[in-house]
């Protein structure tokens, strides 16, 4: 690949890897088009009794193991998950939660897999991270989706029992721009396989992994289409070296590596899915794999609510519990509503994944984005409520005889989730690309294409025919009828009417933005982010109402409480959405961008002169892992049509 690819080259590489077909319906896709298809998520599918029984039995075993055998403070103190804990998890079958029973795994559905990760995450987040990195983006999921039967028979039984995996995509100079990838897989002269050379950064589980999925660029040549390709590589192969175990602000127990490959041989039958399919495999794997991260965020938000509730009831100031003082009461209410809304998004999305009737790529991405952002705020609010004790470590509290609440650890551990598996900024771009997919299919040649007059006229006629019927439908809808949704949702119906009206408004706003900015729209990241965030709020409100209805049907005794929490959450979400709608067109984005470029040019560097730099002099980025000559010879990837960047992997 190009050592310093252009913006267009980077777009083309990423676009060639995205799934372009929509063979199944998508609630999220329709929502961004202004179609409120509530029927796609309501009523929720009934859970399979056998799956529930199996899932609940495993959760009980996992809970007992964590409480009785895992010293969470030891993990934090030693920054390592003890070997006996990993062995115990393997003995429970936790390494094979998502692996089908026919290959030796537990075969849990998405709902119970998420609940297991959530349970482990509240005990210590490094455990849930290990299990998720192994199963959600490590070798089991790519094999399940794209592997040959022989590969599955060879590896899945081992991965389900005692074999830890990792996923290696990121490089020291490559994050969300795969066109810069420098790790190569050169075909051997005898045609039996490839030699992988390069360095991979931030491989979660990489230090202890028995096998990894590694992404490398195959040079295009006769008999080889080339491109970024996914390889199975056992870690005991000659030439595989773990150079460094990375240390982080949070998740102190994870085994995260810098791994170097020096001419490592991988056989032809260790290619997953075929040459050039690596990025597509990564993106498709993340569609459902992304739901693991929201699960961890949800459990942390719920634990934050519990901590804040208990502390606010016991801690007294000025003659009464602090929870009775209005500023703290407001935070408690916000936490309660937020925790319910996040759980609703997770549960609805997970049941959609298990049902397999819908395309959930947008819903899963929205869940990741939304849960990581609000989850972080939830922990921060809990820390504010708990005050100075939240800044003190759990071990220090215990030594003083107080309950060892790990508030400061939760804050440190939660922060990475806004970066893991696609930073918030990358998620905005990724979701925005999917949200405008229909518009680009219809009008892309008009707003983005470099066409001659005749071709542009034909493209404009095609677009005009579509918008002549589509746009008028955005004028009126069920959200303007006071009786809509009332029969099934009662007091919550008003929120669904708001969602329906707002979905049409969002679609109109997207259309206006395309017309106003045309080809420049893809550079308006902040504007696109607001469009996506509005969609996320509308999706979350829909999920909250649907989840409340589901709880009411499955647990009639909780009906009123569920409705109250859903109503609280939807009120909060509506205010956020209203603010975002206003900021679509009333903002200072252009001014801030101009100033940012002045900052980059050093115009205001004098303002920093009185600041000491304990990091010393030198560049922020290290020298590239490979010699310049070798980088300049890196192969080009076959390129296709424009748009999208791939999210950063763990």
Catalytic residues: 421
Burial classification of residue 620, based on how many CB atoms lie within 10 Å of its CB (0-12 exposed, 13-18 middle, 19 or more buried): exposed
- CA dist list (Å): 139 to 214, 314, 379: 10, 47, 32
Tell me if 183 sits within 8 A of 116, measured CB to CB: no
DSSP calls for 184-226:
EEEEPTTSSEEEEEEEEEEEETTTT-SEEEEEEEEPPBTTB--
Contacts 24+ apart (CB under 8 A), 304-310: 304/335, 304/339, 304/378, 304/379, 304/381, 304/382, 304/410, 305/332, 305/335, 305/336, 305/339, 305/378, 305/382, 307/382, 307/386, 307/405, 307/407, 308/332, 308/335, 308/381, 308/382, 308/385, 308/386
Integer Cα distance of 228 and 211 in angstroms: 19
Integer Cα distance of 298 and 296 in angstroms: 5
Integer Cα distance of 146 and 641 in angstroms: 24
Q: How far is CA 610 from the centre of its chain?
A: 39
Contacts of residue 466, Cβ cutoff 8 Å, sequence gap at least 6: 442, 443
- Parallel, antiparallel, or unpaired: how do β-strands 240-245 and 256-267 relate? antiparallel
Residue ranges of alpha helices (H) inside 518-641 are 525-554, 559-585, 589-601, 628-632
SS3 sequence, 67-120?
HHHCCHHHHHHHCCCCHHHHHHHHHHCHHHCCCCHHHCCCCCCHHHHHHHHHHH
Tell me if 179 sits within 8 A of 10, measured CB to CB: yes
Integer Cα distance of 48 and 61 in angstroms: 20
Q: Is residue 251 left, alpha or beta, with left meaning phi > 0 and alpha meaning psi from -120 to 50?
A: left
- Of the candidates 642, 637, 620, 487, the one whose C-alpha atom is nearest the C-alpha of residue 172 is 620
Integer Cα distance of 328 and 382 in angstroms: 10
Three-state DSSP at 627 gives: coil
């Amino acid at each position: 690949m190009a050592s310093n690819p252009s913006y267009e080259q980077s777009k083309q590489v990423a676009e060639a890897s995205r799934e372009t077909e929509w063979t199944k319906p998508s609630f999220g896709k329709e929502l961004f088009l202004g179609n409120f298809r509530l029927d796609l998520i309501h009523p929720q599918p009934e859970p399979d009794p056998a799956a529930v029984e199996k899932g609940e039995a495993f959760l009980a075993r996992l809970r007992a193991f964590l409480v009785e055998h895992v010293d969470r403070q030891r993990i934090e103190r030693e920054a390592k998950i003890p070997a006996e804990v990993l062995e115990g998890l393997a003995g429970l079958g936790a390494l094979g939660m998502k692996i089908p029973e026919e290959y030796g795994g537990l075969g849990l559905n998405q709902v119970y897999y998420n609940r297991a990760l959530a349970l482990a995450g509240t005990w210590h987040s490094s455990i849930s991270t290990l299990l998720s990195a192994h199963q959600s983006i490590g070798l089991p999921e790519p094999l399940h989706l794209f592997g040959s039967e022989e590969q599955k028979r060879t590896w899945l039984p081992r991965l389900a029992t005692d074999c830890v995996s990792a996923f290696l995509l990121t490089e020291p100079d490559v994050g969300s721009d795969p066109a810069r990838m420098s790790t190569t897989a050169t075909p051997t002269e005898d045609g039996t396989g490839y030699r992988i050379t390069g360095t991979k950064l931030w491989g979660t589980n990489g230090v202890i992994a028995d096998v990894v999925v590694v992404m490398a660029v195959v040079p295009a040549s006769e008999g080889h289409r080339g491109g970024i390709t996914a390889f199975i590589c056992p870690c005991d192969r000659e030439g595989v070296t773990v150079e460094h175990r990375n240390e982080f602000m949070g998740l102190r127990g994870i085994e995260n590596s810098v791994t170097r490959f020096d001419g490592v041989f991988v056989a032809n039958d260790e290619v997953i899915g075929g040459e050039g399919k690596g990025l597509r495999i990564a993106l498709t794997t993340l569609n459902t794999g992304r739901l693991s991260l929201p699960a961890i965020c949800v459990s942390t938000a719920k634990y934050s609510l519990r901590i804040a509730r208990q502390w606010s009831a016991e801690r007294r100031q000025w003659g009464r519990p602090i929870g009775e003082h209005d500023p703290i009461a407001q935070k408690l209410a916000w936490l309660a509503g937020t925790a319910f809304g996040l759980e609703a998004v997770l549960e609805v999305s997970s049941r959609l994944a298990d049902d397999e009737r819908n395309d959930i790529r947008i819903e899963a991405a929205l869940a990741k984005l939304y849960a990581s952002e609000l989850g972080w705020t939830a922990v921060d609010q809990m820390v504010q409520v708990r005050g100075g004790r939240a800044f003190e470590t759990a071990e220090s509290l215990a030594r003083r005889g107080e309950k060892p609440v790990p508030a400061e650890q939760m804050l440190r551990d939660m922060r990475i989730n806004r970066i893991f598996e696609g930073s918030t900024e990358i998620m905005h771009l990724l979701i925005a690309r999917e949200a405008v997919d229909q518009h680009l299919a219809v009008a892309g040649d008009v707003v983005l294409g470099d066409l001659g007059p005749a071709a542009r006229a034909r493209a404009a006629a095609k677009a005009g025919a579509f918008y002549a019927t589509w746009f008028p439908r955005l004028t009126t809808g069920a959200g303007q009828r006071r009786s809509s949704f009332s029969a099934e949702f009662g007091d919550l119906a008003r929120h669904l009417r708001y969602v329906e009206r707002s979905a049409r408004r969002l679609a109109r706003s997207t259309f206006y933005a395309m017309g106003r900015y045309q080809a420049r729209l893809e550079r308006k990241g902040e504007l696109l982010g607001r469009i996506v965030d509005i969609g996320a709020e509308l999706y979350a409100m829909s999920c909250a109402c649907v989840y409340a209805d589901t709880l009411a049907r499955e647990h009639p005794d909780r009906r009123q409480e569920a409705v109250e929490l859903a109503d609280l959450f939807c009120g909060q979400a509506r205010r956020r959405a209203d603010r975002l709608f206003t900021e679509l067109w009333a903002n200072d984005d252009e001014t801030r961008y101009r100033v940012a470029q002045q900052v980059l040019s050093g115009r205001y560097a004098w303002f920093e002169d009185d600041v000491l730099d304990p990091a010393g002099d030198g560049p922020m980025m290290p020298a590239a892992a490979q010699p310049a000559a070798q980088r300049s010879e890196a192969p080009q990837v076959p390129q296709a049509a424009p748009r999208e960047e791939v999210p950063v992997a763990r």
